[in-house]
Every structure is written in C-alpha cells, then in structure tokens.
Amino acid sequence: MKGAEEEVGIPKGFKLAGVHCGIKKKRKDLGIVYSEAPCVAAAVFTTNLVKAAPLIYDVEVLKVNRTNIRAITVNSGVANACTGVQGLKNAKRTAEKTAEVLGIPTESVLVSSTGVIGVQLPMEKLERGIEEAVKHLGEDPIPFAEAIMTTDTKIKLHERKVLLGGKEVTVLGVAKGSGMIHPNMATMLSFLITDARIDPKALESILRASVDDTYNMIDVDGDTSTNDMVVILANGLAGNVEIHEDTDEYWKFFEAVHEVNTVLARKIVEDGEGATKVIEVVVLHAPDRASARKIARAIASSNLVKTAIYGEDANWGRVFAAAGYSGAVFDPGKLDLYFESEHGRELVAMNGEGIPFNEVKVREILSASLVRIVLDMKQGNASATAWGSDLTEKYVEINGRYRT
C-alpha cells in the first residue's frame, strides 16, 4: 500500500472509511470501521472522572453486548465532552444513524470522538458524513487513520500476522494521539481489529494486560484526557480454533496484540506536540514490578526531565528527584544512572551520587532523536520501561492556540 508509513493488511471481513463532513474546515473528520460478521469486543477507557459522552454511551453498550459489535464511528474536531444531556443524545444518535445506514442493530455500534471539549456535535453534518463514509468503505485503512487525527502530524498504523493452528490471523491497529498524553490511559484513541476467533474473557484479559504496559506507560504533557479509549474487535473469520486463556495460542495472540500496541504507543510519543525527541526510561533491578513502573512513569512524565533532555542538559538530579516522588520505596544510595543513545553510553551517577563524566560526550548522546535514561536500582529483579517526549516551546504554541 502506497502512502502509509508501512504496508499493512486488513483482517478478513473488515472495511474502513474516512471522509470530510465539515466538522473541520478541510481535513477528514469522520471515520467508520465495519465488520461483515459480529465481533467479540473489549475496551479500556480513560480513568479521568470527567468522561466524554461517547465513552459513557459505549460503557453502557458493552455492559450488555460484547459479542455482537459490528461498527465503530469516530469523529474528530469536536470531543463531545462536557456537553450534558444533549451530548449523550448526540452520541446515541450517531450510533443510531450508523446502524440505519449499515442495516445493523443500534446496539452493535460503538462511537468515539476527539477534539475540542465543551462543544456540541454538528449532527446534520455528522449524519451526512456517516452516509458518505459508508459509501466509501473499503480495504484501505489510511482514510480512516487520517479522519481520527487532531493535532497529529502523522497517521499511526501497525499490523502483525500470526499463525494459530495453521490459520493466518491478522491484527491491525490504528491510533491517534499527540497531546494530552499521560499514563492511566494516555489521551488517545486506538482501534484494533482482528479476524481471530477468541473467547470474550481471553480478549479482555489480553487487551488489559497489553494496555498496562504500552499506552499506560507513555507521556507527552501530563494531561489525562476525557476521551481516551482503546477498543479491539475480533470477528473470528480467520477460522482458527477459538482462543482461550492460558493456552499456547493465547500467548501467541497476546504477543501479536502487544506488538501492535507497543508500536502505536511509541508512534504517539514520537508525534508528541512540539516534540523533537523520544525519551525511553528503563528501570532495572527494582525491588518489585510496581515500584519499577511507578519510577519509570514518574521520570517519563517529569517536565523538568523533559526540558533537560530538550536542552541536551545532563541534569541527572532531576531524574533522581522524579524517582523519589514517584511513591515507590527504595534506597536512594544504590542508584546508578546512565544516559545513552546511538551516540554512546555514559554513567553520570553512581550509588546515588554524582561522578565526573564527559560533558561533551553526554551532550552528544542527548542530541539524538531517541534518548534512553537507564536507572539501575540494584535492589531486586524487577524492571519497567516507559516512554515520553521532550517538552519544547512549540508545545506551548500549539496548545495556546488549540481552539483557533
């Protein structure tokens, strides 16, 4: 497929579309995912107490229907968050209109929105857009990927194929996200579709485990959105024997889903608003996994760490400070800290104290587009990895003018 960052395949029985319906001035702003067969569904939603109307609607749908989802309709430009009773009516109407045009039950449609908070959806434009999008359903995922973008500068796609019992299963993920990205369901939308046949409980456990170590381990700006969601649909058309928990097929499928989520999470960080660098934080030999995760996330989320990396300043004390306020309990006197990138690796602190290091070399290391901060705690066997982006003047410019 031409024009994408990578060539991707579509799982059997799925079609996608993306169109411009007038919510935005020019760019595509409405997308639909459709399955020819009923899908098992699983989803994870934002932890923000203020949840957008589409999420409230979807939660209720999935309480009673996890085995007959057929479509997802997504709009960008307007978040349909903090929109009261009318916002909920508009979310429901979006599902109803999609169902009418596709000829499927309303309860088989999920909805999603992203964009400006506090604005009602322009329903006449949206409904016309749904009619138009259904006419353009096809096997090219790029229009859909374009339609769900807000401040994103790149589409975000990744596909993985895996053999399960001699049957080829495809997992395709499409995501958006650039700002309001913070752990606890980073501010983003991610839609995964697969032709795998899988038990609903197995699908739920795979998604939650994968989200915990991917989207929940990234940060751009410390803000958790009102609209974050990850949804996976599985229609079973690959013809594999149904996947159940704790089987070989389960773990093979988990690895496929996890790869897709990991790549998409990294793409979101790489496309962080105003970002020039990706920061990978690796915590080694922590007392336990929970501590490793807390520390990695705190460092990746620290604005002082982000600005130091942007400025190519080896201000390692900021890393120790972030670890210290993470909530994890550990011995600060055992910490070793390294900065590394394609330009090399340098130890800058040992046993909790600063040591002489080559400032010129470290500045070169920090000049790379991917900078790795390695914190060796020397206090156990647990590890964790988190990803963040640097924080630049461009971020302020973008978000200072978001509505205009």
pLDDT tens profile 179-188 = 544 444 334 7
Cα gap 317→367, rounded to integer Å: 19
Residue 104 and residue 35 share a domain: yes
Taking the complete model, does pTM exceed 0.85, yes or no?
no
Helix, strand, or coil here: 54?
Answer: helix
Last residue of a domain, which of 270, 299, 314?
270
Structure tokens belonging to residue 6: 């990578």
Inter-residue contact 54 to 12 (CB < 8 Å): no
The enclosing domain of 226 has a CATH number of: 3.60.70.12
| Nearest of 72, 265, 255, 88 to residue 185 by alpha carbon | 265
Residue 362 maps to a domain: yes
Last residue of a domain, which of 254, 270, 286?
270
pLDDT tens-digit series, residues 115-172: 888 999 999 999 999 999 999 999 999 999 999 998 788 899 999 999 999 999 999 9
Catalytic residue status for 187? yes
Of 83, 187, 224, 385, catalytic: 187
Residue 5 maps to a domain: no
Q: How many structural domains does the chain have?
A: 2
pLDDT value at 1 more than 70: no
Residue 181 and residue 139 share a domain: yes
Cα gap 138→144, rounded to integer Å: 10
402: confidence class by pLDDT, cuts 50, 70, 90 = low
How far apart, in Å, are the Cα atoms of 61 and each of 105, 262, 312, 337?
A: 12, 27, 48, 47
Last residue of a domain, which of 270, 296, 323?
270
Residue 153 maps to a domain: yes
Placement of tokens 């104290």 in the chain = 353
Residue 8 maps to a domain: no
| Nearest of 235, 233, 239 to residue 166 by alpha carbon | 239
**Could you tell me which residues are beta bridge partners of residue 171?**
160, 194
pLDDT value at 355 more than 90: yes
pLDDT for position 34: 98
Residue 1 maps to a domain: no
Helix, strand, or coil here: 337?
Answer: strand
pLDDT value at 222 more than 90: no
The enclosing domain of 359 has a CATH number of: 3.10.20.340
364: confidence class by pLDDT, cuts 50, 70, 90 = very high
Residue 205 maps to a domain: yes
Residue 363 and residue 249 share a domain: no
Residue 168 and residue 303 share a domain: no
Inter-residue contact 169 to 195 (CB < 8 Å): yes
Residue 203 and residue 299 share a domain: no
Q: Count CB neighbours of 274 within 10 A.
A: 21
Cα gap 12→236, rounded to integer Å: 9
Residue 302 and residue 216 share a domain: no
pLDDT for position 132: 98
How far apart, in Å, are the Cα atoms of 97 and each of 65, 85, 302?
A: 19, 18, 43
- Could you tell me the residue range of the domain that residue 60 belongs to? 14-270
pLDDT value at 54 more than 90: yes
Inter-residue contact 122 to 23 (CB < 8 Å): yes
Residue 147 and residue 221 share a domain: yes
Cα gap 348→54, rounded to integer Å: 47
